[in-house]
Structure 1
Amino acid sequence: METKPTEISSSKMYGGNNKRYKHYSPTLGCTMNFHIYFPPPPSTSPKFPVLYWLSGLTCTDENFIAKSGAQRIASSEGIALVAPDTSPRGLNVEGEADNWDFGVGAGFYLNATQEKWKNWRMYDYVVKELPKLLSENFPQLDTSRASIFGHSMGGHGALTIYLKNLDKYKSVSAFSPIVNPINCPWGQKAFTNYLGGNKAEWEGYDATCLITKCNDVRATILIDQGEDDKFLQDQLMPHKFEEACRKANVPLLLRMQPGYDHSYYFIATFVEDHIRHHAQALNL
């Protein structure tokens, strides 16, 4: 099995290149794809800091690269964008594709503990395997300078991964994140199947629970949430996270955006603010 990444496509954009790679992931037990946007070669620093993007339910490594328009500002800021896939694929586990909100395309960026879903280890893939793969194979990337952001399920992933690894990431932001999955239908379904009935284990992948244990968050957390998002009330509940941040004295900028929904139109509108938010932290 080829664990080294193989380039499968390349497209020039804003002076840089969107490149797609595939590799065999020992963590997940299958072949995975990921995208890197490399900005134009820098005139000063020889290496690019890395900004990881985690996509939401039903997405792949392609959605953000094709739809967000983030490359323009990443190019001007000299930041490499890395977009992994959202779950293992091709394992043919019974029931893996029965629902759009669980299984394939819905890895929830956790390490499953239930035997049936033992390959669903997206947390280890994003936090451990992928950064190591990047540092070993792409000398133009400085993986020691990294930040993370995401959308919906990926916003959940970005927030929880950041809060559990404050030493690894300089900053975090999210669009429409699932901030309190133990209290919403998407999260309860995923956690029951991936993690079983141990609610204490669920809390380890819930940003609203994790924030109560964090007293050393330095960088402001940025969240954009559309007010016309159909999932706002039942699934996303950003104000629960806002309240937890206030109690924990964690700096949060929650921006409720009137008229915007859950789509990539929303992401494309505000992604420049997010890239600049991370550029500030990465280039300190």
Structure 2
Amino acid sequence: MQCIEQHRSFDGWQAVYQHQSDVLQCAMNFSVYVPPYASAERMPVLYWLSGLTCNEQNFITKAGAQKYAAEHKVILVAPDTSPRGETVADDAAYDLGQGAGFYLNATQAPWSQHFQMYDYIVHELPAVIDAHFPSNGRQSIFGHSMGGHGALVIGLRNPTRYASISAFAPIVAPSQVPWGKKAFTAYLGDDQALWSQYDAVELIPSCTAQTPILIDQGTVDNFLQEQLKSTLLVDVCREQDYPMRLNMREGYDHSYYFIASFIEEHIRFHMQYLTAEHADD
């Protein structure tokens, strides 16, 4: 593992590392913000998943999260959104291929060789973080747009791993919207049962545990009606009596200006479930 960038921030350190991923079979970058801490201190980890076209840089340069991570004593990890490299399959479109991993395990050629982002996020990356940083083993997950989809799916499918889930403008029902249909067809083929494993609206009814969910959605988000469809998740959570809170934010769009406006609230939400008094919940 190689540190390729490091900056002092709010008395902690914002860094970017590169490592060779066995799961993805390529070099991967991820960012880590480590708050100031005592030598024996251990802290929870909050994983951020970014959206289409993004990499490990977008969140750390635009969200303004480091200040609140330092105040609340939580490590922030933001991986890249897909495998990268000359040998990795790609597509000319922005919503498929490199930069558009959709946080799933692809089963179809040519994507299946490298596009195993679900396993990377759930298994390989946390093992790297726990081995090299002062983690206490507690973790939660959040994200934006495609990354909000990833956070919901990963959190719902792994309730014993993640204490809480949140998202900004997530794709809640990828099986029903153009972005998801295109990606799922390419990565997973035509097996609708397999699609449902990566669709939050489909997963909610079968959840055996209820991990708390917070969602923020802007009312003037230009993707809301066609691609995001937040009301579909609201409806299924109401039907299943699932603990989810949706905040419709008047006048906010899909950008990082929106994320930066409410990032502190999301970190506070997660810390309710990551703090020591909830360790045995």
TM-score (norm 2): 0.96
Partner of 1:279: 271
Task: Report the residue type matching 2:265 in the other structure.
Answer: D
| Contact kept? 1:186, 1:235, Cα under 8 Å | yes
1:282 maps to amino acid = L
Q: Deviations over 1:58-83 (max 9, x none)?
A: 00001000000011111000000000
Q: In the TM superposition, what is the alpha-carbon distance from 1:104 to its structure 2 partner? A: 0.6
Provide the residue aligned with 2:181 in structure 1.
188
2:35 corresponds to: 39
Identity of counterpart residues, as a percentage?
53
Q: C-alpha separation between the residues in 1 aligned to 2:209 and 2:159?
A: 8
Q: Deviations over 1:128-154 (max 9, x none)?
A: 00011112222x122x20000000000
Q: Distance in 2 between matches of 1:84 and 1:220?
A: 23
Cα deviation digits, residues 147-194 of structure 1 (max 9, x gap) = 000000000000000000000000000000000000000000000000
Asked if 2 retains the 8 angstrom alpha-carbon contact of 1:30 and 1:91, the reply is: no
Aligned mates of 1:10, 1:216 — CA distance in 2: 38
Q: Tell me the distance in 2 between the aligned counterparts of 1:10 and 1:190.
A: 34
Residue 48 (structure 2) pairs with residue 53 (structure 1): yes
CA contact (8 A) 1:184 1:236 kept: yes
Alignment: residue pair count: 275
Retained in 2: the 8 A contact 1:6–1:21?
yes
Give the deviation of 1:93 after TM superposition: 4.5
Match for 2:166: what amino acid?
S
Q: Distance in 1 between matches of 2:199 and 2:212?
A: 18
Amino acid at match of 2:80: D
Moved over 2 A (4+): 91-94
String of CA shifts for 1:111-134, please: whole Å, max 9, x gaps: 000021011000000000001111
Aligned to 2:110, the other structure's residue is in SS state helix
- Corresponding residue to 1:14 among 6, 10, 25: 10
- The CA deviation at 1:92 is 3.6
- Where does residue 190 of structure 2 map in the other structure? 197
What residue is the counterpart of 1:239 in the other structure?
A: 231
The 5-angstrom pairing of residues 14-163 of structure 1 reads 14-42=10-38, 46-93=41-88, 96-118=90-112, 119-138=114-133, 140-142=134-136, 144-163=137-156
Q: CA RMSD in A?
A: 1.2
Q: Deviations over 1:227-277 (max 9, x none)?
A: 000000000001100101111111111000010000000000000000000
Instruction: Measure, in 2, the Cα distance between the counterparts of 1:185 and 1:241.
Output: 17
Q: CA separation in 2, counterparts of 1:155 and 1:91?
A: 27
1:215–1:249: 8 Å Cα contact kept in structure 2?
no
Q: List gaps (5 residues or longer) in structure 1.
A: none
Residue in structure 2 matched with residue 262 of structure 1 by the alignment: 254
CA 1:93–1:14 in 2, change beyond 3 Å: closer, same or farther? closer
Alpha-carbon deviation of 1:84?
0.3
Give ranges in structure 2 of 5+ residues lacking alignment. Answer: none
| TM-score, normalisation: structure 1 | 0.95
In structure 2, give the amino acid aligned to 1:158: A
CA distance in 2 between counterparts of 1:134 and 1:73 reads: 20
- Correspondence for 2:199 among 188, 197, 206: 206
